[in-house]
Amino acid sequence: MTEPSRLRSRPTMDDVAAMAGVSRGTVSRVLNGGHNVSRQALAAVERAISKTGYVVNQHARSLVTQRSGSVAFILSEPQDKLFEDPNFNNLLRGCTQVLAEHDITLLLTMAATAQDRQRIGRWVTAGHVDGALLVSNHLGSPLIAELRERGLPFVVCGRPLGQERDVTYVASDDRDGARQMTGYLRSTGRRRIAIITGPLDTPGGVDRLAGYREIVGAGDPDLVATGDYTQASGEAAMTRLLSQAPDLDAVFVCSDLMAAGAITALQRAGRRVPEDVAVGGFDDNRIATTTTPLLTTIRQPWARQSAEMVRLLLAHIDGAEHAAVILPTELVVRDSA
Amino acid sequence: MTEPSRLRSRPTMDDVAAMAGVSRGTVSRVLNGGHNVSRQALAAVERAISKTGYVVNQHARSLVTQRSGSVAFILSEPQDKLFEDPNFNNLLRGCTQVLAEHDITLLLTMAATAQDRQRIGRWVTAGHVDGALLVSNHLGSPLIAELRERGLPFVVCGRPLGQERDVTYVASDDRDGARQMTGYLRSTGRRRIAIITGPLDTPGGVDRLAGYREIVGAGDPDLVATGDYTQASGEAAMTRLLSQAPDLDAVFVCSDLMAAGAITALQRAGRRVPEDVAVGGFDDNRIATTTTPLLTTIRQPWARQSAEMVRLLLAHIDGAEHAAVILPTELVVRDSA
DNA sequence: CTCCAAACTGTGAGCGCTCCCAACTTCGTA
DNA sequence: TACGAAGTTGGGAGCGCTCACAGTTTGGAG
């Protein structure tokens, strides 16, 4: 039997203190900013730290500070979608970066099943994280209630349908974005404007549909199809629309990824984009500039979104009240409409 | 000033013990399997736990057990690639699942920059995790040396080029897979077989190229191009090959994602697949069944790969010796070759 | 009825750290 | 010369838990 490596016990503050010829207290002060420590004590401690290879024991520290120095990024979405959708990418990158500036680590966890959710609920409450960023919550997601009950600070990305009261969230103005796009399509002379929505139990699903309806009115049900934000679903939905309403001359697709799929379907059906059918997307992520033609879309401010989420979370951890932030969206005109 | 929620102190074991009318020790026993606890004590404690909403404080527990109950999944790859590549998805899902069976949480962290790596190095050593799964390591990745020095158990996914000694890793048999595919292409009568390799500082890059060369010999340098596993790079590499060697009649593309790009490039150049040019991929992930034509490829055993990685990591945490596991690959014939 | 093993329970020590307070230096100034 | 302020230092208490060990109860065998 070899000695398990984790038992080869790491140096503690006392070891460092002894080597530096100072007390534990002084070492602690050095570790926490070095205030009120003399020049030579500081130097001695730093030398001892690098000689011993000392690293603070986070569990001991957290036990007393009641802070872990990490926050969770909780995704409640089947993994496939996560990995296909560039928006998550943008959001994750943004949050990681902003948090790193505060020296806080972001931990990504996935809650695909009810069992996962339970494990994560216990996990976050056990003190592993100081707060959580909740992404991709469908209507009635039990995670919100669970976290609230457990008293963990959290911020939701997107409007938490039916649970807006007393939760902090950051959303982009989906409804207005949809209005802008639909209005733009109409302003270019299109009259049979279809829509491919996201899942109707997500804010991006219902709010963008609502914005669209504000412009076109109740409209023709044959002009409405629903996807699940994946490229394949966009393609399928477009095919469906084409058979339901062959005379459509524009389509507002509620995500760029689905729009890419829709363009594929249109072209396969022999329709020219934008001559025969104008296509508008939503998101303005990487994929919008790789389609042929380039996608006219609504820009979501991902960087601001991440920054706001982190800001609100940190504020919330420090005891701030609940807040909701709605970020403006912007029409980006390219070639597809 | 409101009271920060984290200070609204959670119930402790003593609270539970008091309510249940037992001692701290008995509560601890219940929490850790419930052995040697009388029926009524167990019931009383469980009632008290649910009434108080008690959740163990992981920091306190870890401080004494020296175990955190989580392991890190460390990705050293720019994020874009991560999110584009379905292989990571497969691997991540597999590992999460197997670890969950052991009630261990998987934490995903990304080490894109040198600064990230440093932060992660400190982070893992601070005791946040009991071990690490290292994914996508390029030649000379400093993370391996760093983790080894810090004494953290870890398992590498794929052969760690130049650092095979004393590190535990799980790889699939890249070389043999490449031999199988190249041999198959040749067996169907193809004579000008090109290759699009992965980056040559990764095991998948060099080993698959080596396998290819075992079959075709040193070959024509015009038949070799290198990509970075992204779809776009596959498309670009194929375009390059087509101009260097217009007479090629087959191409072995070292990842399915790149193969999808290559097919696009070929079709745009007016070559029929597989009639004019046969295309072989590598990975057999989701994308292989969405291309037209369906992709002939080499199956990597992702589920076994994840299971083996977790098994070895847990063993290593428990003090086992270093080990290397090579998993067999398998040819899957579909329509593209 | 006695005794011993087995089952169960309580308690103190201690994991490695931060925080606080008391004590001890220096100085500059009255 | 004396004295307070500011800077610096050491060390005790305690965060919430597990673990070892000692003590208590129970019950079956002798």
Q: Inter-chain contact A105–B127, Cβ cutoff 8 Å? A: no
Q: Output the pLDDT for position A208.
A: 97
Q: Output the pLDDT for position B120.
A: 83
Q: Inter-chain contact A83–B79, Cβ cutoff 8 Å? A: no
Q: Inter-chain contact A126–B66, Cβ cutoff 8 Å? A: no
| Averaged pLDDT, A76-100 | 77
| Averaged pLDDT, A293-320 | 93
Contacts of B20 (CB under 8 A, 6+ apart): B26, B27, B41, B44, B45, B47, B48
Q: Inter-chain contact A119–B128, Cβ cutoff 8 Å? A: no
| Chain B: closest CA distance from residue A131 (Å) | 10
Nearest CA to A76 out of A103, A114, A131 is that of A114
Per-residue confidence at A5, pLDDT binned at 50, 70, 90? very low
Other C-beta atoms lying within 10 Å of the C-beta of residue B223: 21
Q: In this structure, which amino acid lies at residue B50?
A: S
- Between CA A87 and CA A48 the distance in angstroms is 46
- Between B230 and A184, whose confidence is greater? A184
Nearest to A63 among B3, B60, B70 (CB): B60
Q: pLDDT of chain B along its 337 residues, tens only?
A: 233 333 357 899 999 999 999 999 999 999 998 899 999 999 999 999 999 999 999 999 999 999 998 999 988 876 666 666 778 878 888 898 899 888 888 888 878 778 778 878 888 888 889 999 998 777 777 888 888 888 899 999 999 998 888 999 999 999 999 999 999 999 999 999 999 999 999 999 999 999 999 999 988 999 999 999 988 899 999 999 999 999 999 999 999 999 999 999 999 999 999 999 999 999 998 889 878 899 999 999 999 999 999 999 999 998 889 999 999 999 999 999 9
List the single range of A83-97, A186-200, A202-216 with lowest mean pLDDT.
Answer: A83-97
Write out chain B residues lying below 8 Å of A4, CB-based: 317-319
Report CA dihedral (A125, A130, A132, A133) to the nearest 10 degrees: -170
Is residue B130 within 8 Å of residue B68, measured between CB atoms?
yes
Q: Output the pLDDT for position B225.
A: 97
Q: Output the pLDDT for position A136.
A: 77
Q: Output the pLDDT for position A176.
A: 97
Per-residue confidence at A4, pLDDT binned at 50, 70, 90? very low
List the single range of A22-26, A182-186, A222-226, A285-289 with lowest mean pLDDT.
Answer: A285-289
- Between CA A327 and CA A320 the distance in angstroms is 20
Q: Output the pLDDT for position A82.
A: 60
Nearest to A6 among B58, B66, B86 (CB): B66
Q: Output the pLDDT for position A118.
A: 80
Write out chain B residues lying below 8 Å of A92, CB-based: 79
Interatomic distance B25 CA / D22 C1' (Å)? 13
Whole-angstrom CA distances from A44 to A22, A55, B12, B265 are: 8, 16, 39, 63
Three-state DSSP at B167 gives coil
Buried b (16+ CB within 10 A) or exposed e, A254-277: bbbbbbbbbbbbbeeeebebbeeb
- Between CA A243 and CA A254 the distance in angstroms is 20
Nearest to A151 among B8, B79, B83 (CB): B8
Q: Output the pLDDT for position B4.
A: 36
Per-residue confidence at A20, pLDDT binned at 50, 70, 90? very high
pLDDT by residue (tens digit) across A212-243? 999 999 889 999 999 999 888 999 999 999 99
| Averaged pLDDT, A275-285 | 96
- Between CA A76 and CA A71 the distance in angstroms is 16
Interface test with B, best of A58, A81, A233, A314 (most B CBs within 10 A): A58
Residue A106 pairs in a beta bridge with A71
pLDDT by residue (tens digit) across A64-81? 999 998 999 988 876 666
Q: Output the pLDDT for position B260.
A: 93
- Between CA A299 and CA B248 the distance in angstroms is 43
Q: Inter-chain contact A8–B80, Cβ cutoff 8 Å? A: no
Q: Output the pLDDT for position B304.
A: 95
Interface test with A, best of B75, B83, B152 (most A CBs within 10 A): B83
Nearest to A55 among B8, B70, B125 (CB): B125
| Chain A: closest CA distance from residue B317 (Å) | 7
Q: Output the pLDDT for position B79.
A: 61
Is residue A251 within 8 Å of residue A277, measured between CB atoms?
yes
Per-residue confidence at A191, pLDDT binned at 50, 70, 90? very high
Compute the residue count for chain B: 337
Residue nearest to nucleotide D16 (CA to C1'): B60
Output the six-digit token pair for B44. Answer: 């009383």
Residues with CB under 7 A from strand C: A 9-10, 12-14, 24-25, 27-28, 31-32, 54, 56-57, 60-61, 63-65; B 21-26, 29, 36-41, 60, 63-64
